[in-house]
């Protein structure tokens, strides 16, 4: 990447972060100061404006992991591996938000925090799959074999997404189908506006996080490769320093096409 293109990417990323921050401020103002309080649920209903977009963002992260994993299996590269890894991280982060805000909403609506509802259970399963992905990447080597195994796990996680989406229609359960108007309380136009703004804000936020993590992971791989090359060429004398251990990930995996 040239200095000019890098500067342009940094500028675009800065604009994205700024737009995300501004949109979040506007969204929070609409949610708490403009959208009315729902009669049955009360103020607890406003959790909905964070819960549903978080689930959507989890889908985005899982999709990014799926795309990156498929790309890596077809043509291995640091970029596709970084995309898959960043997508899995997003899926875990936003999945954790879903599994936190959901029970808080359920405690008011159902009288208890958790039930083995089909959508809740399948959502938990997806989060656990992506947690397993990240554990695999963190505690195994970084060779091509480990990356391919993780890619297969990323594809497996994406296979559960349609099950989550259609679980309410197929297996009933207590989880409301809010967007279609059968639950959640979105009768007022300002409620629909708040939800729309939340979706937009979380979409930009997800894009910013994904972009930042992909760039960071690519930079980390390039730095590790440069360090290994310096060791191979005898330019790195840190091995002579007492107590220093040179990095020992599988170099073969880092030789994939960037």
Which position has the token pair 């995309």? 83
What percent of the chain is predicted at pLDDT more than 90? 50
Q: What is the pLDDT of residues 220-241, one digit of tens each?
A: 888 877 877 777 777 766 555 5
What would the two tokens of residue 3 be?
């200095």
The torsion angles phi and psi of 95, rounded to 5 degrees, stand at: -65, -35
Q: What are the per-10-residue average pLDDT scores of the chain (258 residues)?
A: 75 94 96 89 89 94 96 93 95 95 86 84 92 92 88 91 76 62 66 94 96 92 80 65 52 50
Question: Burial letters for 65-82: b for 16+ Cβ neighbours within 10 Å, e otherwise?
Answer: bbbbbbbbbeebbbbbbb
Q: Residue 257: beta bridge partners?
A: 77
Q: What is the pLDDT of residues 18-40, one digit of tens each?
A: 999 999 999 999 999 999 988 88
Amino acid 1: pLDDT:
57
Amino acid 45: pLDDT:
87
User: What integer best gives the mean pLDDT of the chain?
Assistant: 84
Amino acid 73: pLDDT:
95
Q: How far apart are CA 60 and CA 39, in angstroms?
A: 32
The conformation of residue 240, written as its DSSP 8-state character, comes to G
């Amino acid at each position: 990447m040239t200095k000019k293109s890098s500067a342009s990417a940094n500028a675009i990323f800065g604009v994205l972060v700024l737009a995300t921050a501004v949109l979040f401020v506007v969204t929070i103002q609409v949610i708490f100061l403009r959208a009315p309080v729902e009669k049955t649920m009360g103020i607890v209903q406003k959790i909905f404006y964070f819960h549903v977009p978080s689930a959507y963002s989890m889908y985005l992260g899982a999709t990014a992991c799926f795309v990156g994993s498929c790309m890596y299996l077809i043509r291995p590269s640091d970029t596709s591996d970084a995309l898959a890894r960043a997508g899995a991280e997003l899926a875990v982060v936003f999945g954790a938000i879903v599994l936190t805000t959901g029970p808080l909403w359920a405690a008011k609506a159902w009288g208890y925090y958790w039930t083995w509802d089909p959508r809740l259970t399948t959502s938990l399963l997806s989060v656990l799959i992506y947690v397993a992905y990240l554990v695999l990447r963190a505690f195994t080597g970084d060779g091509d074999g480990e990356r391919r195994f993780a890619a297969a796990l990323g594809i497996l996680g994406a296979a559960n997404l349609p099950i989550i989406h259609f679980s309410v229609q197929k297996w009933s359960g207590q989880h409301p189908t809010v967007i279609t108007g059968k639950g959640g309380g979105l009768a007022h136009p300002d409620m629909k506006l708040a939800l729309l703004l939340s979706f937009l804000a979380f979409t930009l936020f997800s894009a910013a996080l994904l972009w930042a993590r992909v760039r960071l992971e690519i930079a980390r791989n390039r730095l590790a490769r440069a360090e290994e090359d310096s060791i191979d060429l005898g330019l790195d004398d840190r091995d002579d320093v007492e107590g220093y251990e040179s990095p020992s990930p599988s170099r073969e995996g880092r030789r994939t096409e960037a």
